[in-house]
Structure 1
Amino acid sequence: MCDILDGLRYMHNYPIPIPQGDLIPENILITLNGTAKICLFSFGRVLTNLPPSLALNVPTGLLLPFRWMSPELLVDNQQPTTESDMWTIECVCYWILTGLVPYSDHRKDLAGIETLCGQPPGTLANVYYGLGWITNGIWRIIGRCWNRDPLQRPSALELSNLLKQLEKSKIDWLPVEVEDLAGKVKAIGFEAPLTKCIAIWSEFHWESQRHETDIHLEMAVHQSTYDPNWYSRTILVAVKVVGDGPIDEKARALVTSIRHEITIMSQLDHTHIVKLLGIDSSYDQGPSMIFEFCPGNTLDKILSQSPLGFRDGIKLIDCVALALRYLHEHKNGTIVHGDIQPANIYVLPNGLAKLTNFTCAFQYVLGQPTIGRPLSATISAPVLPSLYVEPQCYDEKPQDHLRTPTMAGDIWSLGSIILSIFTGTFRYQRPDIYSAQIHQGVSPCDLHGLSVAGHRVSSLVRSMLAYEPSKRPSATLVLDRLPVIE
């Protein structure tokens, strides 16, 4: 891949950029010493021979098969560009890494329709999830190259630089943004953890078309210290590690889940999201995750002690909604948290909040529809029944794929948290009875009266807890409709 990208970078950086225009596997030759070389410059040759005034007006015809074509070439019958080359080169990279051609589940004459419908050329639904390129940043940048907006795709130089950085990495699955802090973090002792995180690991075996047995994963968060340098002061940190108990049967799922969370967290930098500082690869039960330490307490513990006032509650909800807007509109592709509940929200002494625990998070390829398609061979989900998950989580499990978390599901969870803060009964109901009620279409707002009924919060919460996901507002609309607290 580095060889192909070096050749493409040379062409794209020419004084007058030259798109290759026909970059499919058949046009990439491998020499006896293993070097890849780009050949067949059909479009490149034509475009360089055209007068500048005619370069955009003289049709040259489309030679690329539909599987490899970017959407703008299909819709507008445009000339190939350096940006359309980047779409195609990532189709080639996906083929090299997986052995699957773009839109491998569709006939070649129907592949163009999938492109125009907004479907990406590939997913991880039938790819072995333990491969390093899924978590080290390669899959992420492949997704960026499949952006429907050509100007938002990365350049050949950016992709080439990433691959060369990864070549130097000692840990092949680790994103280049994440530092290994082994030897700098104090080993955790035998003290009780600050909190525990439990999730359900699900796997779908693509070849046999069957669901594997679900696995309960348990992680624990401990307080520790981190010494950045010998001359720096010690910093308090939170260390997320595998929980107590035997892990032999869970080892593969635990390691993959940890790597998945690391690659999600490595992309996040927001005031209201707990920051990942690095990992500790020396931990004996898989890498531990090192996070900034948050003073204060989780929302569930605060609510168990005393209710929040209106101003404090709205202030907290605003923080979580800001974090959700950042995640749902992330530049690398929508990130869904998947497990928003009071236990996963830190409330700081100043009343601001930070979202934590991204074990159940999922990132979509840019432009990828967020429902109804097989997208991944594995997924982590919250333990059910729960007071904070949308009714659709209780639907019968799909037979041919895993259900992935959605933005609408995050909005439902946030609406449930508002109920938890501003009602006196929501947190004390039985999750099994409540889940049966909402699955039948009963609105939580009809079961629990808000103590702020005189405010516009009431209508906002009702819209957030709409049974139909498409009727729920986006995080941006939630922010617009929240009362302003001076």
Structure 2
Amino acid sequence: MPYSRKSLVLSQLKEIAKNDNRPHPLSRDTVSIPQERMPTVNPVSHGDLLVVNNSFLPAGSAADLWLLQVEEDSMLLAKVKPYNLLQGVSVPVVKKVVRIVKDYFRNYGVCRDENLLHRLRKDFHEQFQTWASLSHPNLAAIHFVDSLEFTLFQEYCENGDLREYIKQVSSEVEYIGIIKDILYGIVYLHSREDPIAHGWINPGKIYMKGKTAKLGEFGLAQLVSEFPNLVPSISVAGMTRWTCPEYFNEREPGLSTTLGDVWSFGCTIFELTTGLIPYHQSKYDTQVLARIMAGDPPGDIKTQPPTSGQTLSVDYIELMQRLIAQCWLPVTERLSSQDLLRQFNQEARKLENFVPVLITALMPVNEIFKYLIHYGIVDMTPNLKPLSIDSQPFQSSGLEVYVGYLDNNTKVAVKLARLPGNMVRADGSNPLMAHELCVWSKCNHPNVLPLTGAIIFHGGIASVSPWAENGNVSNYLKMKKDMSIVARLGICIQIAEAISYLHGIGIIHGDVKGPNVLISGDGIPRITGFRQAIIAHPDSDLCFESFDSECTLHWAPPEIVTEDAGRTTHSDIYSLGMTILEVITGCPPWGNMRDYRVVTMMILGERPNRPNDHIPSGNEWADLTWDLLMRCWNQNPTERPTAAEVRDELKDILKESKN
């Protein structure tokens, strides 16, 4: 039967706090597995997890939570350890153990079915493994899934959930930033090749890391909605208030959709703005459901005074009302999350009297740097060891690259741009480097080199990022001339995955090529080089003075070289094709051909000759690869495949190459 663990937590919290390492008291009502199978979290029992400390968290309606401190080499951080250079000896991770009593599923007559446990475990693995594969700045990451024990290891968001955090927000600008964060996360889910409907959006499933809002994983209650009586510790009630009317459609009940997420987003904004839950006048879910079926809206922001403790302007209230009204339209008229984001960005700028700061080459370095730090770039000056930066740099793609070390002895690259004189003031001002830092800071993916921060160095602004032990992919391949085609295709897949990620968050790279792909010490390719990048829907307080952009002829598409067209996702695909050719052959596209000859070949509509030594005709995988490359190089940009399609086709080709 249903129960509450509140009294248990209150009575035992002090004892738990006194000794984090002792076993936590267990009872039938409060644990997910029998006592003998639930050892205390510690370094010995977790092996590769490398836990150095743990503490119980008095939160979680459907799971018991622990805050772990794990070493940077923990398997939990395998995908994210490059982003934790400043964490020191340990990184916080949340362990979430779902409260499911497995014995409760055993067959007792006809009322229970032990097969449901296996089904639940399968659904748990599929749903949360899907979430673990996602990567976006506005999604709370899942590091590891243990479906056997119904356990998740998640990113730690120190400011808790949005329902509590919003009570301390006093700035309308911060409100707007939070709403944008939520929308960016939703749009990322909905824009994937196979769109993902979250299905459980509400302020309690949105977490705050600093001032950044992150969508939490799919609700655990969603998994057990078909047999709630068999999982008494997990409440499936209460979510009705945030659920769209079509969810209760008799023809397709219980179907989560992307447009249903838009409705739930509207309910979330209503709660954040008014401090009232949807259908707040109805106490019970049955009453709420009756109102939904009658076509009643969840609330009216115009008639409800803000009770969240904040004073909001009339203009802000009206903007929220327009946003919510769009979310609560009938499903056939409701805007997509992508359209909603575009509309909201336009209206929010009007509300803010938005006048972005223009970064130009006439600005002093210190002033540009100040704006970058305000924007969110980390000032690494206090974290770099004094005198640790080498005096002699490497030269790479218009950059001076210096070796440096952080206080924790982490090796980093300090990169200073070398640009034409008309783009750099005498004091070192460099707006293109500032632009690159702003774009780069939006990225969070295993195949994108992470930005650690920036410093003022040699009179200019320099980026600080992890050191890539193996240099760029072009040089790496020269050292690995005997690398197998399987390994080369693996690199190509990861590069395509990075470009797919960038396009998914609205970034056009603009300069995809081998020299802009670095290889880490463990052989992972990571995209860098964002000086020519474009943000499709800029939301920054900064904008940048325009300069004539450069292109690298051997990788650039004909529409940019011969027609002066703007950079697009389609132009990235052409360059991606050239980069794939480079990885497979180990040579730059067009070989040693002079630039003027490359331009001539493009004007004539020619493409590189097929390198039969590396992509032999008549070989199944090779023919598939060459067909893919020719489609990437289609003269009509709109006929080129997407980055996700390139990635998926390469995966199929990789399988074929192993046969």
- Distance in 2 separating the partners of 1:76 and 1:383: 44
Which of these residues, 324, 331, 343, is aligned with residue 499 of structure 2?
A: 324
Structure-2 change in CA distance of 1:248 and 1:467 (3 Å) = closer
Question: How far did 1:96 drift?
Answer: 4.1
SS of residue paired to 2:654? coil
- AA in 2 matched with 1:441: G
Contact kept, 8 Å, 1:276 with 1:291, in 2: the verdict is yes
Per-residue deviation, 1:347: 2.8
Partner of 2:636: 468
Verify: 1:2 aligned to 2:176, yes or no: no
Number of the residue aligned with 1:391: 558
Match in the other structure for 2:570 = 408
Go from structure 1 to structure 2 and tell me whether the alpha carbon gap of 1:70 and 1:416 turns closer, same or farther (over 3 Å shift).
Answer: same
Q: 1:296 aligns with which of 466, 470, 473?
A: 470
Q: 1:209-288 residue pairs with structure 2 within 5 A?
A: 219-227=399-407, 233-243=408-418, 249-250=424-425, 255-280=430-455, 282-288=456-462
Deviations 1:223-248 (A, max 9, x none): 11111xxxxx3110001124399788
Residues 429 and 43 from structure 1, CA distance in 2 versus in 1: closer, same or farther, beyond 3 angstroms?
Answer: closer
Q: What letter is aligned with 1:93?
A: R
Displacement of 1:378 in angstroms is 2.4
Cα distance in 1 for residues equivalent to 2:472 and 2:341:
48
Instruction: Please tell me whether the aligned partners of residues 360 and 380 of structure 1 are also in contact (alpha carbons under 8 angstroms).
Output: no
Deviation per CA, 1:177-233: give whole Å up to 9, x if none: 5321213214565643233333xxxxxxxxxxxxxxxxxxxx322111111xxxxx3
1:273–1:14 distance in 2 versus 1, CA, 3 Å: same
In structure 2, the residue matched to 1:451 is: 614
* Deviation of the 1:464 alpha carbon: 1.1
Q: Which whole-Å deviations, capped at 9, do the CAs of 1:284-314 have from their partners, x for residues lacking one? A: 5233211011111222223455644312221
Alpha-carbon distance, 1:346 to partner: 1.7
Contact 2:327 2:334 in 1 (8 A): no
Distance in 1, Cα, partners of 2:510 & 2:315 = 45
When residues 70 and 192 of structure 1 are mapped into structure 2, their CA distance, relative to the original with a 3 A threshold, is farther
Structure 2 match to 1:174: 373
Q: 1:9 to 1:177 in 2, by over 3 A?
A: farther
Alignment pair present for 1:364 and 2:528 = no
Q: What SS does structure 2 have at the residue aligned with 1:178?
A: coil
Deviations 1:389-429 (A, max 9, x none): 111112344xxxxx542111121112112322444683222
Q: Is the 8 A contact 2:394 2:402 kept in 1?
A: yes
Q: Indicate how the Cα distance of structure 1 residues 244 and 261 shifts in structure 2: closer, same or farther if over 3 A, else same.
A: closer
Q: Secondary structure at the match of 2:457?
A: coil
Partners of 2:316 and 2:476 lie apart in 1 by 66
User: By how many angstroms is 1:21 displaced?
Assistant: 7.4
Q: Distance in 2 between matches of 1:5 and 1:357?
A: 30
In 1, the alpha carbon distance for the partners of 2:316 and 2:596 equals 63
The answer as to whether partners of 2:562 and 2:599 remain within 8 angstroms in 1 is no
Cα pair distance change 1:175/1:70, threshold 3 Å: farther
State the TM-score, normalizing by the size of structure 2. 0.44
Give the aligned length. Answer: 344
Structure 1: distance between partners of 2:442 and 2:493 = 22
Query: Which residue is equivalent to 2:100?
Result: none
AA at the equivalent of 1:451 = H
User: Which of 504, 510, 514 is the matching residue for 1:342?
Assistant: 514
**Which ranges of 4 or more aligned residues in structure 1 deviate by more than 6 Å?**
4-10, 39-44, 69-79, 83-86, 244-248
Report the counterpart of residue 596 of structure 2 in structure 1: 432
Verify the 8 A CA contact 1:344 1:357 in the aligned structure 2: yes
Q: Matched residue of 1:223: which SS?
A: strand
The whole-number CA distance in structure 1 between the counterparts of 2:301 and 2:275 is 12
Q: Does the aligned pair in 1 maintain the 2:359–2:544 contact within 8 Å?
A: no
Structure 1 residues 61-140: aligned runs within 5 Å: 87=343, 91-94=347-350, 96-98=352-354, 129-130=358-359
AA at the equivalent of 1:360: Q
What does residue 198 of structure 2 align with? none
Alignment-mate amino acid for residue 439 of structure 1? I
Q: Which amino acid aligns with 2:537?
A: V
1:354 aligns with 2:529: no
CA–CA distance in structure 2, aligned partners of residues 181 and 18 of structure 1? 47
Please tell me the residue identity of whatever aligns with 2:393: P
Q: What letter is aligned with 2:471?
A: N
1:194 matched residue in structure 2:
394
8 Å CA contact 1:240, 1:288 repeated in 2 = yes
Distance in 2, Cα, partners of 1:441 & 1:314: 27
CA contact (8 A) 2:471 2:519 kept: yes
Output the amino acid matched with 1:405: R
TM-score (norm 1): 0.58
> Are the equivalent residues in 2 in contact too, given 1:389–1:409 (CA < 8 A)?
yes
Contact kept, 8 Å, 1:11 with 1:18, in 2: the verdict is no
Given that residues 326 and 334 in structure 2 are in contact (C-alpha distance below 8 angstroms), is that contact kept between their aligned partners in structure 1? no
1:484 aligns with 654
Query: Identity over the aligned pairs, expressed in percent?
Result: 17
The answer for the alignment partner of 1:183 in structure 2 is 382
**SS in structure 1 of the partner of residue 556 of structure 2:** coil
The change in CA–CA distance for 1:5 and 1:339 in structure 2 (over 3 A counts) is: closer
The letter for the 2-side match of 1:473 is P
Check the 8 A contact 1:388/1:416 in 2, yes or no.
Answer: yes
Q: Residue 146 of structure 1 aligns with which residue?
A: none
Matching residue's letter, 1:476: A
Does the CA contact (< 8 Å) of 1:261 and 1:358 recur in 2? yes
Q: CA-to-partner distance for each residue in 1:347-396, whole Å, 9 max, x for gaps?
A: 345443121222211111189xxxxxxx9862673345x21011111234
464 and 41 in structure 1: CA distance in 2 versus 1, 3 angstrom threshold: closer
What is the rounded CA distance, in whole Å, between the counterparts of 1:43 and 1:311 in structure 2? 53
Q: Structure 2 stretches of 5 or more lacking a match? A: 1-169, 177-269, 279-297, 304-310, 361-368
Return the offset for 1:450: 6.3
Return closer, same or farther for 1:449/1:21 CA change in 2, 3 Å cut-off: farther
Amino acid of the residue matched to residue 614 of structure 2? S
The letter for the 2-side match of 1:224 is G
Distance in structure 1 (CA, Å) of the matches to 2:569 and 2:345: 30
Tell me the CA shift for residue 93 of structure 1: 2.8
What displacement does 1:264 show?
1.6
Root-mean-square deviation (Å): 4.5
Q: Tell me, in whole angstroms, the C-alpha distance in 2 between the residues paired with 1:13 and 1:234.
A: 47
Conserved? CA contact 2:404–2:411, under 8 Å: yes
2:390, 2:404 within 8 Å by CA — same for their partners in 1? no
The letter for the 2-side match of 1:298 is N
Q: Give per-residue Cα distances to partners, 1:31-57, cap 9 Å, x unaligned.
A: xxxx9831798899xx9xxxxxxxxxx
Corresponding residue number in structure 1 for 2:75: none
What does 1:9-20 correspond to in 2, within 5 Å?
11-16=273-278
Within 1, Cα distance between the matches of 2:479 and 2:423? 38
Cα distance, 1:94–1:256 mapped onto 2, change above 3 Å: farther
- The residue that corresponds to 1:163 in the other structure is none
Contact kept in structure 2, 1:295 and 1:348, CA below 8 Å? yes
